[in-house]
Structure 1
Amino acid sequence: MEAFKVNHKHFIIYKPYGYLSQFISNANKQRNKKFLGELYNFPENAMAIGRLDEKSEGLLLITTDGKMSDFVNSQKVEKEYYAQVDGDISTKVIEQLKLGVKIGFNGTKYKTKPCKVFKLSDIPDLPKRSKKIRDGRHGPTSWISITLNEGKFRQVRKMTSAVGFPTLRLVRIRVGNINLGAMQVGDVIEVDEFF
C-alpha cells in the first residue's frame, strides 16, 4: 500500500510595513493590527518561517510544512537584510557588527555570532514604504547589508542600536537563495518548493 503523501503549500511574500507575521489575532489587544491573511487566502495550517516584526518588511516565506520551517529557522540558511540606519556609519562600526556585539535577549546579554556586514554605496531600489521615514533635514543616514545565520528577536535592530546607529527601516531581501527581486509590497507568489 502506498504511503499517504502530504502535498504541502509554499509561498514567497513581500510583507508590508505594519503587518504582523501571523494570520489571526490571538488577543483582543491586537484587534486593530494587520495580519498576513489580509494579503491572500492562505491554507488553514500555513505558518510564517521566521518572523519579521511589525515595523520590518520584505521577504517572508510561508509554508504548511513544519519540517521546512525547522530547516530554514536552523542556522543552515542565511538571511540578508538591508537596514537604513541613523547616521553616517563608519568602517570601524561595521567591523564591530561583523565580529558580534552584545544585545539584550530574554533578560540577559547575548553576543551575536560573527556575520557579514557592509555599507551599501547606493541607496537600494526598494518600493516606497507606506509610512514616511524622516528626511535628510534630520541628519544623514546610511544603508548597510547584514547577513545572519541566526535570528534572535529583533536582532538587526538591537545590533545597530548597540553600536549607536538605530535602524530606521529594515527590509529582508534574501533567505538562502530566494531573493526579493522585483517583488512589490504585498505580492504573494505560490511556489512548488523553496530549496
Structure 2
Amino acid sequence: MEKEEKHHHFMIYKPYGFLSQFINNGQKQNSKKLLGTLYDFPEGIMAIGRLDEKSEGLLLLTTDGKTSNYICSGGVEKEYYAQVDGDITVDAIKLLTQGVEIGFEGKKYTTAPCKAFKLKTTPEFPQRSKKIRDDRHGPTSWVSITLKEGKFRQVRKMTSAVGFPTLRLVRVRVGEIYLDSMQIGEVRKLML
C-alpha cells in the first residue's frame, strides 16, 4: 500500500505590497516583497489563486495541487471588501451584480453575475502600510463583492467600470474560510 503524502495548508493575511509568490522567478534584482519572508513555509508551498501586489487579505496556501485546482476552478466563492472612491450608488451595485464589461488580456470580457452590496458600516481592518487618501478628497464607501471567477485585477476593473475606482481591496472570505480578526502578515495552519 502506498504511503499517502501529507500536505500542508495555511491561511495568511497577505499584506499590501507583497506578491502572491515565494520565489523570485529569475529576476536579477528583486525589490519585490515575497510571502516566503513572512513565515518558514514547507517546500512546495503555493498560493491558491492570487491577490495582486496592491490587494490584501485572505490568501490560502497549500502543498496540494488538487486542493488548489479545486478552489481555483470557479466553484468556490471569494468575497472581497472594496473601499471605492465616492458614495457608490444603487444603480452601480445593480450593474455589478448583473456583470460588467472589463478588459482582460487585451479583449473585452463580461463578468459573470455576482453578489454585491454596499456595507452599512466601515469594516475594521488593521491600518495599511501605505496610507489611503482621506475624506478631505471626497467621500468613500465600502462594497462587498462575491465572485466565483477570478480574472486578473477583476474587482478593481469592475468597480472602475461602474464609475467607482477601488482605493483599497481586502479579500475577506474563500468558501467557508474567513479572514475574521487576523492581523496583517499573520499565518495560521489549516486542517483541510
For 1:106, the equivalent position in structure 2 comes to 105
> Structure 1, residues 35-79: CA drift from partner, whole Å, max 9, x if none?
000110111200000000000000000000000000000111000
How has the CA–CA distance of structure 1 residues 107 and 30 changed in structure 2, closer, same or farther, with 3 Å as cutoff? farther
Task: Tell me which residue corresponds to 2:140.
Answer: 141
Q: Runs of at least 4 residues of structure 1 off by over 3 A?
A: none
Secondary structure at the counterpart of residue 83 of structure 1: strand
Structure 1 counterpart of 2:115, one-letter code: K
Residues of 2 paired with 1:94 and 1:101: CA distance?
11
Matched, 1:16 2:15: yes
CA distance in 2, matches of 1:191, 1:73: 18
Work out the CA distance in 2 between the residues paired with 1:181 and 1:117. 19
Aligned length: 192
Letter in structure 1 aligned against 2:15: P
What one-letter code is carried by the residue in structure 1 that aligns with 2:152?
F
Q: 1:176 to 1:187 in 2, by over 3 A?
A: same
TM-score, normalised relative to structure 2: 0.98
Return the alpha-carbon distance in structure 2 between the equivalents of residues 139 and 126 of structure 1: 21
User: 1:36 corresponds to which letter in structure 2?
Assistant: L
Q: Percent identity of the aligned residues? A: 68
Structure 1 residue runs without a partner (length 5+): none
* 1:66 is the counterpart of 2:76: no
Letter matched to residue 164 of structure 1: G
Residue by residue, what CA displacement relative to the aligned partner does 1:97-152 show, whole Å, maximum 9, x if unpaired? 00000000111100000000000010001111111000011000010000001000
Secondary structure in 1 aligned to 2:169? strand
Q: Please tell me whether residue 185 in structure 1 is matched to residue 184 in structure 2.
A: yes
Q: TM-score, normalised by structure 1?
A: 0.97
The 1-side partners of 2:99 and 2:46 are apart by 30
Amino acid at match of 2:74: Q
Is 1:158 the counterpart of 2:154? The answer is no
- Show the 5 A alignment for 1:29-178: 31-178=30-177
- After superposition, the Cα gap between the structure-2 partners of 1:122 and 1:100, relative to the gap in structure 1 and judged at 3 Å, is same
Per the alignment, do residues 166 and 29 of structure 1 end up closer, same or farther by CA in structure 2, a change over 3 Å counting? farther
Task: Give the unaligned 5+ runs of structure 2.
Answer: none
Q: CA deviation at 1:4?
A: 2.1
Please give the alpha-carbon distance, in whole angstroms, between the structure 2 residues aligned to 1:69 and 1:122. Answer: 33
Cα distance in 2 between the residues matched to 1:104 and 1:184: 33
Q: Could you list the per-position Cα deviations for residues 79-103 of structure 1 after superposition, in whole angstroms to 9, with x for gaps in the alignment? A: 0000000011100110000000000
Compute the RMSD of aligned alpha carbons: 0.9
**Superposed CA offset, 1:128-183 (max 9, x none):** 11110000110000100000010000000000011111000000000000000111
SS at match of 2:75: coil
